[in-house]
A and B are shown apart, each in its own frame.
Chain A
């Protein structure tokens, strides 16, 4: 597999990841900024509207105070002037004067934080009251006769118009107050509307960003998934390729061994055999006295016999013909004897009879497994005895090779031979188990299923 399509998405994915992170962070920032802003605006609006209401009621109350004081003063003045029992310059007059100053104080206390129009109206009230006061002061000098004569006139010409005038001014002020309240309320409402607009804009922005983000995230995840699947498939394919390759290797190796073995055994071996027979006959044809020729022939025969022997040994090693001629068990017994002959290790075989139609792969697999295990036991483990057991039932064949050699640590050392055994067993769909330990000998155990092995053929 070339690597570039696998590496490129990684770079791409990195960029995309940063982009996603940025968008997500931005969205969060936007939301928090907007939230804080909205809270602040709301608090301010609340404060403003509170102040507006407070000012409005302060103005109203001040105006009421002025009016009440004026009313009391005005009424007092009227009653005094029109009283039937006249009490000249008594305490009543003093009381009226104090009421007048109360009115002026109330006017003076009227809040000064309003516009010029209102202030001028207040000033006008002030002037009207002062004018009335001074006019009332003048009545002090009146005699009782004068008083009886002029009191009604004074009330009619001075007090009533002033009263009307003050009332008109007060209602104008009240109107102004109302107008201002309405204007200020409008301002608050406008500001609230602005806040609402800002908030709804933010909601739309956030929703859009969220949409973009989820689309991007979806795309990214899809890509990741796709990449993952592609990589998994590639891995799976290469694993299968490797498996079939190694199986193919084993098959080719077996086939090659078989054909070389046959060639050596059947062709070269047989031809040499025939040659030896002919040599024997030739020797018989030579006159008995001709020892020179007879010796020569004997030497040729010896050389030929040794050649036949080495060819036979080679052929046997490559692929024992008994595996094909006689079956698995005789081949295993031969292998055991052959190992016993060539090494210091005695091998015992206990094998169930096998059916003649045992699949060739299983037959060869078991044979090679035993061959490898015995080879290891004799050369590496220096074992004195080894046992081979083969148990057959229609579902599976169980093979066990155990020795009393020096053993080893299977989790540390695992030579090619053991890997090869494991691989062969795995290819046949079986299970492989090796147990050993220093000084404990070694046991190789394999179970080969027969049904799947048959299916594989």
Chain B
């Protein structure tokens, strides 16, 4: 059986060995390398060619976000799961902008790690439930206090459908095939909904989707 190759990056030996134990218990996963800081992680990603990187944000020399940025510039298809202590939007958005597809909180890593690795290896996004909840709470609170309308209500059903598919990691072509539409039509729906929601770029779209509870 072909096993998914994983690179671990964390400056704490204890954490790495714990995570490794957990991952290696799964029959379809294998840990091919461990890095103790950002630079080492970038170097190993280049030499070992893993499919998934599980990386801590807070690392010496080069932090996880910078390391992820360098890795995805080198190989855009690399699936990165960011592990962090911080559930705040600042981190999530920057991790997404750096090319990460999964965002996992450390205190729930044990429960969600396997799910997260499987999701990103399959081209999907994954966020710890606590992160999704926090993002949603912030969003709802802000709407309530400022009294503004939720722009989501302005979307057509088709746009909502496409929004979810984009957020799940599907390409325009996949979506066109799935919905029996032309790529051009999907493209136009996509730019319309981005404009309605005032979003710039895929990371913000994913964040929005997580916030609205469209994806987990």
Contacts and interface: CB of A to CB of B under 8 A. Distances in A.
A309 interface: yes
Contact of B146 (A322, A337, A338, A346): A346
Contacts of A340: 138, 141-142
Interface of B: 11-12, 14-15, 18-19, 21-22, 57-58, 63, 65, 85-86, 88-91, 94, 106-107, 109-111, 137-138, 141-142, 145-146
Contacts of A305: 107
Contacts of A279: 110
A277 B142 contact: no
Nearest to A307: B107
B86 A346 contact: no
B18 A277 contact: yes
A385 B107 CA distance: 33
B91 A274 contact: no
Contact of A341 (B12, B14, B111, B138): B138
Contacts of B138: 337, 340-341
A308 B130 CA distance: 14
Nearest to B66: A325
A278 B57 CA distance: 21
Interface string A277-302: 11111000000000000000000000
A356 to B, nearest CB: 10
A334 B90 CA distance: 6
B86 A333 contact: no
A327 to B, nearest CB: 9
A270 interface: yes
Contact of B91 (A278, A322, A346): A322
A385 B22 CA distance: 46
Interface in A310-367: 312, 321-322, 325-326, 330-331, 333-334, 337-338, 340-341, 346
B128 to A, nearest CB: 13
Contact of A326 (B18, B90, B106): B90
A278 B2 CA distance: 27
Nearest to A308: B107
Contacts of B146: 346
Given A271-B14, A281-B21, A340-B141, A331 B90 contact: yes
A326 B65 contact: yes
Given A278-B18, A322-B88, A334-B88, A309 B57 contact: no
Contacts of A429: none
Contacts of B19: 277
A273 B107 contact: yes
A321 B58 contact: yes
A266 interface: yes
A280 B110 CA distance: 6
Contacts of B11: 266
A269 interface: yes
B25 to A, nearest CB: 8
